[in-house]
Amino acid sequence: KEKVEITKEQQALMKVILDAYNRHQIPQDMAKKLLQDQYSAEENFLLLTEMATSQVQVLVEFTKNIPGFLTLDREDQIALLKGSAVEAMFLRSAQVFSRKMPNGHTEVLEERIRKSGISEEFITPMFNFYKSIGELHMMQEEQALLTTITILTPDRPYVKDQQAVERLQETILDVLRKLCVLQHPQEPQYFARLLGRLTELRTLSHYHAEMLTSWRVNDHKFTPLLCEIWDVQ
């Protein structure tokens, strides 16, 4: 049985990424906000676009701390950000939804989200994803590394030097694989299950434009940044 060991460099890499991940968190009070008040579909749509806009800004800051990211071709950096922003948003939402909350709060939050204005057809796939993330009981380090792996996906549209992105992603994948083996020794498949979530995430993200344009409001206004990142307007 090969002894799995995280090297000093990998420890340092993990610390840099985790610190950046925790530093670049938009106010987590979104869940609290939703638990406090019932908002109209209009108010929820505005909340969603505000949250998504600040999430993209946070994502840009976070990527600057991914070792090697700034050494990539500038246009490839943009292509990776554009290509991963929606997935990062759903991953963050899933992590917010899966947080340990006092009894009954998760149910209230779920109800608020179901009634937020999103059209029915997307509710099941969205919550299936949130619950499949929740079941993993991911550690903070795993969440931060999984988000980093999502950003460093080589086959995003318009990426020119895919090998350079692949090299960076492989470095992170190796750390995450070791972390999973060390943290979940009884579950050798845990790492594979984690990566399987990224496939579910990509599928869910295909619906994002429709989820927005079908929101039950009369006028769907987006910020210029969201028009850039989301395939809307």
Ligand X SMILES: COc1ccc(-c2nc3ccccc3n2[C@H](C(=O)Nc2c(C)cccc2C)C2CCCCC2)c(OC)c1
Per CB under 6 A, residues contacting ligand X are 26, 30-31, 34, 44, 47-48, 51-52, 55, 89, 92-93, 96-97, 113, 116, 118, 208, 211-212
* Distance in angstroms (rounded) separating the CA atoms of residues 102 and 77: 40
Q: 116 vs 150, which CB is nearer to ligand X?
A: 116
CB 118 within 8 A of CB 211: yes
| Phi/psi at 188 (5° precision) | -60, -20
* Distance in angstroms (rounded) separating the CA atoms of residues 191 and 78: 28
CB of residue 51 to ligand X, shortest distance in Å: 4
CB of residue 109 to ligand X, shortest distance in Å: 6
CB of residue 75 to ligand X, shortest distance in Å: 25
State which amino acid sits at residue 169: Q
CB of residue 117 to ligand X, shortest distance in Å: 7
CB of residue 208 to ligand X, shortest distance in Å: 5
Q: 21 vs 97, which CB is nearer to ligand X?
A: 97
* Distance in angstroms (rounded) separating the CA atoms of residues 230 and 225: 8
Q: 18 vs 204, which CB is nearer to ligand X?
A: 204
> In the 8-state DSSP scheme, what is residue 187?
-
* Distance in angstroms (rounded) separating the CA atoms of residues 38 and 115: 9
Q: 8 vs 104, which CB is nearer to ligand X?
A: 104
Question: Could you give the C-alpha distances from 40 to 8, 34, 43, 45, 112, in angstroms and in order?
Answer: 51, 11, 5, 8, 10
Q: 97 vs 191, which CB is nearer to ligand X?
A: 97
